[in-house]
Amino acid sequence: MRDTRAELLLQAETLVRRRGYAGFSYADLAETVRIRKASIHHHFPTKSDLAHALVAAYDARYDAALAEIRAGEPDAIERIAAYGALYLGGVEAGLGCLCAVLAIEGDALPATLRADIARFFEKHIAWLEGVLAEGVAAGSVRVSAEPRATARMVVAALEGALLMERLLAGPEGFRGTLAALCDGLRPAGVSSDRTDTI
């Protein structure tokens, strides 16, 4: 027995992350999942229903990943490197960030969806702010501005790098940006042994 709904979510996510929200159709999705177009409407009545479900699933996966990083990695810089590695997966697969894709088409999207996306980003910023604040307290991080502004900058840099390096230098280019980002947060005089093995 196959879980059609899950399959639809998986393939729809890939399509959106590859071609954008307006750039994929129920017909495309129907073809890749090998189901009739009308059957998709049974699971997701409208396209924006599907989009909501997509964001919810994506968000939940990130929630789990953030929690795991926090639990498994004590060092702040390593936590950020691990966070960056989540994006690296996208670059490797040639897929943009779901929420970045949707954010860009923002003006054409339902307001509720835009709110979901905003919450996604806010959550990441808050998480990073916490990580940075702890790192500063522990002396393993040097932040030039307030942690909040730096947190925003880190998310922005990673989102931007995913967007750009998918077209330019691929994983190679992304790793470079991630390394530069992490190095910039290290206190002066601390070596950066591990940044090239992220």
Partner DNA sequence: AAAAATCTACCTACTCATTGGTAGAACGAA
Partner DNA sequence: TTCGTTCTACCAATGAGTAGGTAGATTTTT
Which residues are near DNA by CB under 7 A? Answer: 2, 4, 24-28, 35-39, 41-43, 45-48
Q: Show the binding pattern over residues 35-54: x = contacts a copy of itself (CB under 8 A), - = does not.
A: --------------------
Contacts (Cβ under 8 Å, ≥6 apart) of 137:
none
Interface with a copy of itself by CB under 8 A: which range of 3-11, 72-80, 133-141, 160-168? 160-168
CA diameter of the chain? 62
CA–CA separation, 94 and 96 (whole Å)? 7
Residues 168-187 that bind a copy of itself (CB under 8 A): 168-169, 173, 176-177, 179-181, 183-186
Nearer to a copy of itself, 9 or 151 (CB): 151
**Among 97, 112, 88, CA closest to 178:** 88
How far is Cα 20 from Cα 146, in angstroms, rounded to an integer?
Answer: 34
User: Phi/psi at 83 (nearest 5 deg)?
Assistant: -60, -45
Residues 185 and 141: beta-carbon distance below 8 Å: yes
Q: Phi then psi for 11, rounded to 5 degrees?
A: -70, -35
Which residue's CB is nearer to a copy of itself, number 72 or number 106? 106
Applying CB under 8 A, among 118, 126, 137, 138 the residue interacting with a copy of itself is: 118
Residues that bind a copy of itself (CB under 8 A): 18-23, 94, 96, 100-101, 103-108, 114, 117-118, 121-122, 144-145, 148-150, 152-153, 155-161, 163-169, 173, 176-177, 179-181, 183-186, 188, 192
